[in-house]
């Protein structure tokens, strides 16, 4: 079955490039041009590579806080314009 109709790239060819070491749609594009013209095949290439529609991030081991553990936002200082209007300047 064709994955990229712009360049005639089949699912088998994408899998062969993946077996040869291509791990991202960009690496597949470098190997065979699939995904470099209209882009409609990029999601299919991601699915073949096992990545789904969106790239996945590694767990919080990367050093940053987990999404549910965001640090609190800093308190905003009053703007100078408000200080002048209120006579605090």
* Res 53: pLDDT: 47
Instruction: Look up tokens 């991030």; give the residue.
Output: 57
pLDDT in tens, 47-59: 999 875 444 555 5
Nearest to 35 by CA among 24, 51, 19, 50: 24
What is the tally of helices (H) and strands (E) in the chain? Answer: 4, 2
Contact 11, 48 (CB under 8 A): yes
- CATH architecture type of domain 1-53: Orthogonal Bundle (1.10)
Least confident window among 22-31, 45-54, 77-86: 77-86
Whether 87 shows a pLDDT value over 80: the answer reads: no
List the chain domain ranges: 1-53
Whether 72 shows a pLDDT value over 60: the answer reads: yes
What is the SS3 assignment for 84? helix
More confident residue, 85 or 23: 23
Confidence of residue 25 (pLDDT cuts 50, 70, 90): very high
What is the SS3 assignment for 44? helix
Q: What is the mean pLDDT of the chain?
A: 79
- Element holding 10 (H helix, E strand): strand 9-10
- Element holding 2 (H helix, E strand): strand 2-4
pLDDT above 70: percentage of residues in the chain: 56
């Amino acid at each position: 079955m064709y994955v990229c109709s712009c360049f005639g790239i089949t699912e088998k060819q994408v899998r062969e490039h993946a077996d040869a070491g291509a791990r991202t749609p960009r690496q597949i594009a470098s190997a065979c041009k699939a995904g470099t013209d209209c882009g409609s095949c990029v999601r299919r290439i991601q699915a073949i590579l096992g990545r789904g529609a969106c790239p996945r991030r590694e767990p919080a081991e990367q050093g940053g806080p987990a999404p549910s553990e965001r640090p609190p936002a800093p308190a905003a200082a009053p703007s100078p314009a408000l200080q002048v209007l209120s006579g605090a300047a």
